[in-house]
Amino acid sequence: MSTYQVPRGTFDILPDESYKWQFVIKVFREIAREFNYKEIVTPIFEKSEIFERSVGESSDIVEKEMYKFEDKKGRVFALRPEGTAPVVRSFIENGLSLKTNSSKLYYLGPMFRYDRPQKGRYRQFYQYGIENIGSTNPFVDAEVIALAYRFLTKLGLKNFALQINSIGCKNCTTDYDDALKEYFNPSLVELCSDCRNRLLKNPKRLLDCKVKSCKAIAQEAPSMLDYLDEDCTANFDKVKEYLTAMEIPFIVNPKIVRGLDYYSQTAFEFIDTNLGAQNTLVGGGRYDTLAEQLGGKNMPGIGFAGGFERLILSMEEEKLSFGLQQVPKVYLVALGTEARIAGLKLIMEMRRMGISTEYDPDKTSMNAQMKMANRTGAEFALILGEDELKNNNIILKDLTKGEQKIIKIPDIIKSIKDK
Ligand code: HAM
């Protein structure tokens, strides 16, 4: 074992895996563009207060999972556990708005949560996310969900389900929270210690506890949908109507409450129906009071985020393609000192023309260099020996077909470009 290992719950993306990441990132950017979302990049650390005031003191993230630290001047920061609060912070700070054409935003990057690592759950993980800020129109809810759906289907995923819910607004939650307290109180001793705590601070969170005994008790709990006020009901109906119009299949699951405190009304998750415990591919919802919690104006918003790790696991599970591994187009096999120097010049010219080219300065024999050419997966080998050089020739060998021909050196780049 090597002296040092990556920190627990983190991982290296190794060279043979990185093309998968590049592929999913590329597709996400394409889909964001299709829907006219622009990229926003925020720092990976923020004042911890930003998360405490938005994600919420009673959430698992703030209560147990934040990587919090003091800088040299005693300011308290946190490695961002999620992207929504930083985006809204930036939105307020920079006066972004619909007017400045910057209300539809996407982001990509690492997030940090100190949780017990397991398959699909890491301490540093990479999210892709969307935030649409400034509108309460349920059409926007449906469009944001449609974007996630389009992304997952574009990747070819089939084994997933969209679950939606409305968790109402402040107006409806007070009565609902009381109803939940009344329902769960008689079973208090059977609840896990987290849930006992949640019952006081945020009873809705009991509905998505993963502990078996809590899950069983929550089975018959009152449904949020019975407590929605007129506005919230009408909104939820519209979201469902628009999703149906866009032919996006969904299931209403009144137990989706989301683990972050800033949500109201629409909440949704895309669940992988094959993955084990960590099966939420995408989670999102509306957060109409978040901007105010961060000291801004009343500014509604809705968005989602998903983890690339789970996405890639799901794609592997479904045996989907990530495009091709990176291979060089050309491998130069140069024999003798003069050919090697002439070859160097040629390599640089080819690279300037956008042809990816590889060679090995340590291998000298034809055999060893050809072996390397095949190992790299190059499409072509260019063979340059003393004789060829003298006659201004080079051998172009197609490594998949095994055919080869002699070409004049000045014509070689054009020949390869035409292939
Ligand atoms: P979240 O549900 O906490 O929501 O996370 C969203 C997604 O990030 C999860 O569904 C999962 O795919 C991935 N994820 C979360 N934690 C981990 C982890 N420890 N390891 C691997 N993947 C993980 C949010 O973060 C909200 N900011 C989403 C949002 C955006 N809501 C509105 N706008």
Q: What is the rounded average pLDDT of the residues 190-213? A: 89
Q: What is the rounded average pLDDT of the residues 276-292? A: 92
pLDDT: which is higher, 198 or 322: 322
Tokens linked to 212: 């078996």
pLDDT tens digit sequence for 73-104: 999 999 999 999 999 999 999 999 877 777 99
Side-chain-side CA neighbours of 61 within 13 Å: the count stands at 24
Q: What is the rounded average pLDDT of the residues 405-416? A: 94
DSSP code per residue over 24-68:
HHHHHHHHHHHTT-EE----SEEEHHHHHHHT-TTSHIIIII--E
The pLDDT score that the predictor gives to residue 308 is 98
The Å distance, Cα 80 to ligand 1 centre, comes to 12
Rounded to two decimals, what is the model's pTM?
A: 0.94
Scored b (16 or more CB within 10 A) or e, 242-274 reads: bbeeeebebeebbbbbbebbbbbbbbbbbbbee
Q: How many residues does the chain have?
A: 419
**What residues contact 281, with CB distance under 8 A and at least 6 apart?**
152, 160, 269, 270, 271, 272, 275, 306, 307, 310, 311, 314
The Å distance, Cα 192 to ligand 1 centre, comes to 23
The Å distance, Cα 401 to ligand 1 centre, comes to 47
**Which strands form 393-398's sheet, in the order they lie side by side?**
357-358, 330-334, 380-384, 393-398, 404-408
The pLDDT score that the predictor gives to residue 210 is 84
What fold, for 15-172+228-317?
Answer: BirA Bifunctional Protein; domain 2 (3.30.930)
Tokens linked to 83: 């992207």
CB of 263 shorter than 6 A to ligand 1: no
The pLDDT score that the predictor gives to residue 116 is 94
Token pair 């390397």 is found at 372
In this structure, the residue with its CA closest to atom 18 of ligand 1 is 121
What fold, for 330-417?
Answer: Rossmann fold (3.40.50)
CB of 306 shorter than 6 A to ligand 1: yes
Cα–Cα distance, 138 to 238 (Å, whole number): 6
Determine the angle formed by the axes of helices 170-184 and 193-201, rounding to 10 degrees: 140
Could you tell me the pLDDT band of residue 242, with boundaries at 50, 70 and 90?
Answer: very high
The pLDDT score that the predictor gives to residue 239 is 98
CB of 127 shorter than 6 A to ligand 1: yes
The pLDDT score that the predictor gives to residue 126 is 98
The pLDDT score that the predictor gives to residue 119 is 92
> For strand 160-166 and strand 251-252, is the pairing parallel, antiparallel, or unpaired?
parallel
The pLDDT score that the predictor gives to residue 219 is 92
pLDDT tens digit sequence for 50-61: 999 999 988 889
CB of 203 shorter than 6 A to ligand 1: no
The pLDDT score that the predictor gives to residue 397 is 97
Name which of 153-157, 277-281, 291-295 the model is least confident about.
277-281
Quick one: which of 301, 305, 286, 303 has its CA closest to 165?
286
The Å distance, Cα 262 to ligand 1 centre, comes to 14
In this structure, the residue with its CA closest to atom 7 of ligand 1 is 306
Cα–Cα distance, 306 to 125 (Å, whole number): 10
Cα–Cα distance, 261 to 205 (Å, whole number): 9
Tokens linked to 102: 């910057």
In this structure, the residue with its CA closest to atom 1 of ligand 1 is 283
Q: Is the pLDDT of residue 338 over 90?
A: yes
Cα–Cα distance, 31 to 278 (Å, whole number): 25
SS (H, E, C) 187-233: HHHHCCHHHHHHHHHCHHHHHHCCCHHHHHHHCCCCCHHHHCCHHHH
Output the average pLDDT for the chain.
Answer: 95
**What residues contact 218, with CB distance under 8 A and at least 6 apart?**
206, 207, 209, 255
Could you tell me the pLDDT band of residue 30, with boundaries at 50, 70 and 90?
Answer: very high
Name which of 7-21, 192-206, 325-339 the model is least confident about.
192-206
> For strand 301-307 and strand 124-133, is the pairing parallel, antiparallel, or unpaired?
antiparallel
Please list the alpha-helical segments (H only) found in 223-306: 230-245, 290-293
Q: Amino acid identity of 406?
A: I
Could you tell me the pLDDT band of residue 277, with boundaries at 50, 70 and 90?
Answer: confident
CB of 309 shorter than 6 A to ligand 1: yes
Q: Is the pLDDT of residue 353 over 80?
A: yes
CB of 121 shorter than 6 A to ligand 1: yes
Domain boundaries, the chain: 15-172+228-317, 330-417
Q: Which of 21, 67, 111, 311 to mutate to test the pocket of ligand 1 (most atoms within 8 A of CB)?
A: 111
The pLDDT score that the predictor gives to residue 208 is 85
Could you tell me the pLDDT band of residue 383, with boundaries at 50, 70 and 90?
Answer: very high
CB of 300 shorter than 6 A to ligand 1: no
Name which of 149-153, 172-176, 235-239, 343-347 the model is least confident about.
172-176
Cα–Cα distance, 174 to 158 (Å, whole number): 38
